[in-house]
Amino acid sequence: MAVYPSKAAWIKQEAQDLGFLSCGIAEATFLEEEAPRLEQWLKAGHHGTMHYMERHFDKRLDPGKLVPGARSVISLLYNYYTPQLQSDPEAPKISKYAYGTDYHFVLKKKLKRLFQRLQERFGAIQGRVFVDSAPVMDKAWAVKSGLGWLGKNTNVIAPKKGSFFFICEIITDLELEYDAPITDHCGTCTACIDACPTGALSPYQIDGSKCISYFTIELKDALPPAMKDQMDHWMFGCDVCQTVCPWNRFSQPHQEPQFAPHPDLLSMTHADWVELTRETFDKVFKSSAVKRTKFEGLKRNISFIQEG
């Protein structure tokens, strides 16, 4: 039986065995630095119509309000990068993260399995797993646990790994050894800011109400006419600020079979998308995150960028 120098080392090995890209651990304390930033971001209206961002302000900042007696936040990264592209360069574009099975389903199962192993190893510990499903500041915890730095595009960037990954957590009352944050390596680069089609980015801040992902996924109202020429042909999400990031030259193809695209997805032509039927939508996106925007929403997006 392998001997590990610490509880944290054992957890990190278990996470690796389950396919996670990286694992870091931070002490479950109040996020003092993030509190004023979040308040200012909300006051500026950068969340647009995402009113859920205004709720549970205290829970977003204090893990102890999500898990009583919380001592540790275990942050994990899961790679979704693929070099695969849609075959028709004229087709409306979809973000890489939504090619395959909805990551919420895939990662929640893995997190539950990991937490079960923690309970088997360390006894009657309490905790919860989180995959974008609760008021948890994923990026802040990933940075505090040393998994990467917050880039100028507001994505967490991991050295030698890039940023094409999902972030998830286990918050637990188990006391562990904690990792330290790493330094920022964006330097003078402004590639993401310069490339953003809508001007949503400024250094280390995003105006969510101007982001293409917001328009194509979160916004339920009609898309604003002023955006017609700025959508860069995206119908679901946007990968521009990641694609241009020099650190993503280190991205390696994921090894998750469930993230493989539906056989028809990448071969669909411009005409196929324009003529998209509900039957095709249900088949291609049966278990995809694209279901979030629904058939009507995707059709709205496709029609909008066609008119642009």
Q: What's the pLDDT tens digit per position in 30-70?
A: 999 999 999 999 999 999 988 888 888 999 999 999 999 99
Percent of the chain clearing pLDDT 70 (strictly above): 99
Active-site residue (options: 62, 88, 132, 138): 132
What whole-number distance in Å separates Cα of residue 69 and Cα of residue 175? 10
Residue 132 falls in the annotated catalytic set: yes
Contact 191, 244 (CB under 8 A): yes
Model confidence band, residue 190 (pLDDT cutoffs 50, 70, 90):
very high
Strand duo 201-202 + 165-172: pairing: unpaired
Cβ neighbour number for residue 264 with a 10 Å cutoff? 11
Model pLDDT for residues 232-288, shown as the tens digit of each residue: 999 999 999 999 999 999 999 999 999 999 999 999 999 999 999 999 999 999 999
pLDDT of 196 > 70? The answer is yes
What whole-number distance in Å separates Cα of residue 199 and Cα of residue 184? 23
Residue 294, class by beta-carbon neighbours within 10 Å (0-12 exposed, 13-18 middle, 19+ buried)?
A: middle
77: left (phi over 0), alpha (psi -120 to 50) or beta: beta
- The whole-number average pLDDT for the span 155-179 is 98
Closest CA to 301 of 97, 98, 96, 93: 93
Contact 121, 10 (CB under 8 A): yes
